[in-house]
Amino acid sequence: MNRRNGRAALTTDTAMRWASGWFQSRNRTIYTLLIIGALLYPSLMDIVTGGEGNHWIGTAAFAGVFVLLAIGLNTVVGFAGLLDLGYAAFFAIGAYTYGMFASGQLLASPLHHEFHIPFWVMLLVGVFVAACFGIILGAPTLRLRGDYLAIVTLGFGEIVPRLVQYLGAGSPIGNWTGGVNGIAAIDPPKLPIILTGPWFGLGTPFGVVKNFDFFNPLAYPLDFYWLMAILIVVCIVLATNLQNSRIGRAWMAVREDEVAAAASGVNTVAIKLTAFAIGASFAGFAGAFYGAQLSLVSSDNFEFIVSVTILIMVVLGGMGNIPGVIVGALLIYTTQYVVLTNLPDWTTSLATAVGLTGLNQAHGDWVGLHDEVQRLNYLIFGVILVAVMVLRPQGLFPSRVREQELEKGTEEQAVFDLRAEET
């Protein structure tokens, strides 16, 4: 009211009203909390661990890779409704593209020359290469009905890690990927050339600027953390704009009813291919970053289980809703790679703290608390998945449209409600 009358005075009352309006949208609340969390996280971790927060900041940057992947897969699965079970393959393609052209690897290949192309260029090349593979795979298969795409992508996801494993030392066409060992010692990102010109590095000719080791992943995880944060923001903006664009509306039309969409003039094959290629390019982007941060790529990091994990993040977070899948990605990453990985150590120290050290030793069938808890990892994760999905089948933060569909149901579902009969 105040604003309409031209009185822009920011009283407590208007601020409150504005704030309540802002937080009425759940997505805005999530974004606000995520931004505040991301800004505070590094300092908080340093305080909690007493200045030793680097490990946790690095972990968060890795979690960021999965956030990127979840945003990308959401474009394919959430927006366009295409089930992709081999998403890790595109992730691998991005990571290996960067790894091969930013390390000494290709010296061993028939090219006999090593490449060190800058990270920033390779980030875009990774995107391009992954998108190309997406188009090559998608073009023949997207004409098929929905589920066959899932199976073709599943096959592709199985082929890629095995192929990179095979194309190592001793393969008939030479050592391109380092085989089972993967590619190590990949270049970290460097500052762009305008900053690191001939005046860079004291002691060298023309050097007037001090040489500092920016973007060394081990010494400066914080650099990666902020780089990751910036990339995620860029991707969120991109994905949100795509969702609200003409293409985004076409994706949703295809998802809801392909025949109706085609009848309304949507070129369904082209629009599905766009979704598939854009999804793949997000994975390529994330892959290049991942290779740079880890400084190592190995086929083990791109197995089927990774594809499934990303799919879980998307479905559990709430398909089609970008803040939802981000939260899903962070939660699943934390559960799987932080809580479940560290649980054995935590329980061991807890047992020591409360004086039950006897539990930590192995005797008889008991293999020690550490190993016993480790054995439970699979079970715990499975129970969490089933419980969350049964309790909230629409995901934690679904998009509004989907939520309403589920709550009210379509007419058809109301007539044949099997659950109603069961009770």
When asked if residue 304 is in the footprint of other proteins (CB under 8 A), the reply is yes
When asked if residue 319 is in the footprint of other proteins (CB under 8 A), the reply is yes
When asked if residue 83 is in the footprint of other proteins (CB under 8 A), the reply is yes
DSSP 200: B
Element (H, E) at 103: strand 102-103
> Residues 178, 163: contact at Cβ < 8 Å?
no
Which lies closer to other proteins via its Cβ, residue 108 or residue 380? 380
Name which position in 26, 375, 400, 408 contacts other proteins (CB under 8 A): 375
**E strands within 119-254?**
183-184
CA nearest to 41, candidates 231, 310, 221, 287: 221
Which lies closer to other proteins via its Cβ, residue 358 or residue 382? 382
When asked if residue 401 is in the footprint of other proteins (CB under 8 A), the reply is no
Name which position in 152, 183, 236, 277 contacts other proteins (CB under 8 A): 152
Instruction: Classify each residue of 26-62 as buried b or exposed e, where b means 16 or more C-beta atoms within 10 Å of its C-beta.
Output: eeeebeeebeeebeebbeebbeeeeeebbebbbbbbb
Region binding other proteins by CB under 8 A among candidate stretches 42-50, 120-128, 227-235, 413-421: 413-421
When asked if residue 217 is in the footprint of other proteins (CB under 8 A), the reply is no
Which lies closer to other proteins via its Cβ, residue 3 or residue 162? 162
Q: How far is CA 241 from CA 120, 248, 298, 399, in A?
A: 23, 8, 34, 16
> Residues 184, 104: contact at Cβ < 8 Å?
no
Element (H, E) at 297: strand 296-297
Name which position in 18, 199, 206, 378 contacts other proteins (CB under 8 A): 378
Region binding other proteins by CB under 8 A among candidate stretches 4-12, 233-241, 264-272, 385-393: 385-393
Region binding other proteins by CB under 8 A among candidate stretches 17-25, 98-106, 160-168, 187-195: 160-168
Q: Of all residues in the chain, what percent are helix, strand and coil, respectively (each to 5)?
A: 70, 5, 30
When asked if residue 418 is in the footprint of other proteins (CB under 8 A), the reply is yes
Amino acid at 53: G
When asked if residue 108 is in the footprint of other proteins (CB under 8 A), the reply is no
HSE (side-chain half, CA atoms, 13 Å) at 188: 16
When asked if residue 416 is in the footprint of other proteins (CB under 8 A), the reply is yes
Name which position in 162, 246, 400, 408 contacts other proteins (CB under 8 A): 162
> Residues 69, 269: contact at Cβ < 8 Å?
no
Name which position in 104, 118, 155, 207 contacts other proteins (CB under 8 A): 155
CA nearest to 66, candidates 298, 302, 388, 273: 302
When asked if residue 192 is in the footprint of other proteins (CB under 8 A), the reply is no
- Cα–chain-centroid distance for residue 109? 31
Binders of other proteins among residues 40 to 79 (CB under 8 A) are 77
When asked if residue 376 is in the footprint of other proteins (CB under 8 A), the reply is yes
CA dist., res. 268 & res. 255, Å (int): 10
When asked if residue 409 is in the footprint of other proteins (CB under 8 A), the reply is yes
HSE (side-chain half, CA atoms, 13 Å) at 417: 12
CA dist., res. 43 & res. 53, Å (int): 8
When asked if residue 381 is in the footprint of other proteins (CB under 8 A), the reply is yes
Binding mask 10-39 for other proteins (x = CB under 8 A): ------------------------------
When asked if residue 363 is in the footprint of other proteins (CB under 8 A), the reply is no
Which lies closer to other proteins via its Cβ, residue 113 or residue 419? 419
Q: Which residues bind other proteins (CB under 8 A)?
A: 77, 83, 140-141, 144-148, 150-152, 154-156, 158-159, 162-163, 165-166, 172, 304, 308, 311-312, 315-316, 319, 375-386, 389-390, 393-394, 402, 406, 409, 413, 416-419, 422
